[in-house]
Amino acid sequence: MSRTKYQATTTAVVIHAEGANYDLAEQSLTLQLVDEGGGAFFLLIQDGGAPLRVELGELELLVVEAKKLLAQPGVGEVDP
């Protein structure tokens, strides 16, 4: 019996319209965690297009600034 311990690591998530096939959705967005040996980073891939690389150090600031943009009056409001 092997003494090796295993773990599962989630490396990607697909964001898509509810009810749409995640793999075929035209407006899907994939967020992928990648590590090519030089440290982890994120790839954002939309509609099978070219990926946008986001370093981990950039991500926190990106989220903070995105929240500021959405907090502006009249912006980020979603129709019910």
pLDDT, one tens digit per residue, over 19-74 is 888 777 677 888 898 988 888 888 888 876 788 888 888 888 888 888 887 788 77
Which one-letter DSSP state was computed for residue 61?
H
Note the pLDDT of residue 50.
Answer: 80
CA-based Rg of the chain, rounded to a whole angstrom? Answer: 17
Note the pLDDT of residue 78.
Answer: 54
Token pair recorded at residue 79: 């129709």
Q: 44 with 33: CB under 8 angstroms?
A: no
Place of tokens 């690389």: 53
